[in-house]
């Protein structure tokens, strides 16, 4: 079965072709960083317009790269939740048109569930049940993936997502967006122990995350004692921006590692899968690998599969189809991912 996966949930227009269950034939992405750069964050209206311009071209590229025609595709999978409503609508409308044109089934996919299972495409020996840490610009949560039909949230952020926090700190440090790679690169030359930024715990919820206090701490640190510095001023700091970046990064990574290993011990699982844009972070990768107890395998997808992409949507769609479920042409979108139960 060949599945075409489409994702337009945020600011990347993505499409990929998968030979079910796990073989990726293509994975094409058109990013929009340049369009949103001047605004310091994703502008929903601009994102949906750009998706409208690009989605058909990206799908065409994905088919070409896979060496297949639309007529050879057996099903279309599309992210319909969660995400920016206008952006989701563009992908879903495109997917419906293609499903009608090719007369093939359509299936709506939960974006975060797709991040959870992306690693399956690159690890033949990985299988359910497993624990998944998904850390992206919009989400940070731990999931117990029991089987393809049962993916349960164990704990999630009560405020900012980890990636969002990287993006905001990048802005404070005058770095470009997306902030994660920029902060991480700067951090490479810094001392992670220079400043002890807080590692927040959430009361009565040991597997939940909170990053807004950390972000504020970095801001206050940059503003100086008593908030005297109007603008964060590089010259006034006792330590370098690289030290601030490294200390901040270490605080985020410590929290992600702590919760993940706690959850793994609690569930007694042998597999921990990491997904979402923040999974590209090198310190997270090395600290998790070092901190993992014997018997716990840590699975990182490649960079292309960590970030938003169409292949993971096709993979998750194939799992849903495998369970005999499809959607109809009145498939709706959901910003939060909640709503009536979907396949």
By rule CB under 6 A, what string of x and - marks binding of each residue 291-310 to ligand KG4? ----------------xx--
91 binds ligand KG4, rule: CB under 6 A: no
Q: Which of 16, 82, 178, 310 binds ligand KG4 (CB under 6 A)?
A: 178
Applying CB under 6 A, the span of 33-41, 208-216, 272-280, 288-296 interacting with ligand KG4 comes to 272-280
The DSSP output letter for 128 is S
> 143: which strand partners?
132, 153
Q: Which of 4, 10, 186, 314 binds ligand KG4 (CB under 6 A)?
A: 10
Residue 163 interacts with, from ligand KG4, Zn ion, none (CB under 5-8 Å by kind): ligand KG4
**Of 104 and 305, CB closest to ligand KG4:** 305
Tokens of 95: 């997917």
Please tell me the number of Cα atoms within 13 Å of 301 on its side-chain side: 31
**Of 163 and 232, CB closest to ligand KG4:** 163
Applying CB under 6 A, the span of 13-21, 55-63, 131-139, 220-228 interacting with ligand KG4 comes to 131-139
Residue 192 interacts with, from Zn ion, ligand KG4, none (CB under 5-8 Å by kind): none
For the chain, the straight-line distance linking the first and the last C-alpha, in angstroms and rounded, comes to: 19
- CA gap 107, 125 in Å, rounded: 26
φ and ψ of 125, to 5 deg: -90, 0
> 7: which strand partners?
14
CA distance readout (Å), 60 to 3, 194, 223, 309: 14, 49, 49, 15
φ and ψ of 93, to 5 deg: -65, -40
27 binds Zn ion, rule: CB under 5 A: no
- Segment 14-73, which members bind ligand KG4 (CB under 6 A)? none
Q: Which of 2, 27, 281, 320 binds ligand KG4 (CB under 6 A)?
A: 281
136 binds Zn ion, rule: CB under 5 A: yes
Q: Which of 163, 190, 192, 301 binds ligand KG4 (CB under 6 A)?
A: 163
Q: Count of CB atoms within 10 A of residue 287's CB? A: 18
Q: Where are the alpha helices (DSSP H) in the chain?
A: 33-36, 44-66, 85-102, 111-117, 162-172, 179-187, 212-223, 241-267, 282-291, 303-306, 310-322
32 binds Zn ion, rule: CB under 5 A: no
Contact yes or no for 343/322 (Cβ under 8 A):
no
Cβ 21 to ligand KG4 shortest distance, Å: 22
- CA gap 91, 51 in Å, rounded: 8
**Of 82 and 190, CB closest to Zn ion:** 82
Applying CB under 6 A, the span of 27-35, 57-65, 158-166, 212-220 interacting with ligand KG4 comes to 158-166
Contact yes or no for 272/256 (Cβ under 8 A):
no
167 binds ligand KG4, rule: CB under 6 A: yes
Cβ 203 to ligand KG4 shortest distance, Å: 26
Residue 210 interacts with, from Zn ion, ligand KG4, none (CB under 5-8 Å by kind): none
DSSP, collapsed to helix, strand or coil, labels residue 210 as: coil
> 252: which strand partners?
none
Binding site for ligand KG4 (CB under 6 A): 10, 136-138, 163-164, 166-167, 178-181, 184, 276-278, 280-281, 307-308
Binding site for Zn ion (CB under 5 A): 136, 308
């Amino acid at each position: 079965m060949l599945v075409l996966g489409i994702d337009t949930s945020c600011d990347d227009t993505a499409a990929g072709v998968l030979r079910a269950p796990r073989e990726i034939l293509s994975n094409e992405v058109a990013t929009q960083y340049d369009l949103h750069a001047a605004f310091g964050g994703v502008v929903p209206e601009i994102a949906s317009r750009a998706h409208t311009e690009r989605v058909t071209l990206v799908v065409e590229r994905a088919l070409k790269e896979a060496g297949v025609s639309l007529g050879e595709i057996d099903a279309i999978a599309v992210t319909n939740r969660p995400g920016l409503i206008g952006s989701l609508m563009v992908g879903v409308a495109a997917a419906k048109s293609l499903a009608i044109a090719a007369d093939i089934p359509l299936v709506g996919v939960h974006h975060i569930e797709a991040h959870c299972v992306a690693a399956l495409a690159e690890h033949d020996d990985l299988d359910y049940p497993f624990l998944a840490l998904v850390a992206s610009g919009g989400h940070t949560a731990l999931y117990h993936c029991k089987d393809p039909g049962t993916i349960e949230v164990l704990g999630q952020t009560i405020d900012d997502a980890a990636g969002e926090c990287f993006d905001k700190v990048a802005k404070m440090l005058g770095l470009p967006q997306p902030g994660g790679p920029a902060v991480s690169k700067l951090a490479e030359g810094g001392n992670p122990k220079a400043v002890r930024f807080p590692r927040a715990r959430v009361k009565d919820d040991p597997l939940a995350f909170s990053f807004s206090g950390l972000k504020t701490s970095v801001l206050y640190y940059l503003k100086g004692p008593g908030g005297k510095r109007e603008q964060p001023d590089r010259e006034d700091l006792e330590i370098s921006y690289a030290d601030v970046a490294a200390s901040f990064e270490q605080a985020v990574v410590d929290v992600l590692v702590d919760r993940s290993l706690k959850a793994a011990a609690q569930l007694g699982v042998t597999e921990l899968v990491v997904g979402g844009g923040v999974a590209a972070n090198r310190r997270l990768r090395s600290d998790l690998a070092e901190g993992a107890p014997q018997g716990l395998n840590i699975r990182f997808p490649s960079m292309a599969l960590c970030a938003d992409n169409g292949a993971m949507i096709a993979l998750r769609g194939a799992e849903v189809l495998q369970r005999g479920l499809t959607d109809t042409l009145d498939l709706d979108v959901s910003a939060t991912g909640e709503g009536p139960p979907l396949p």
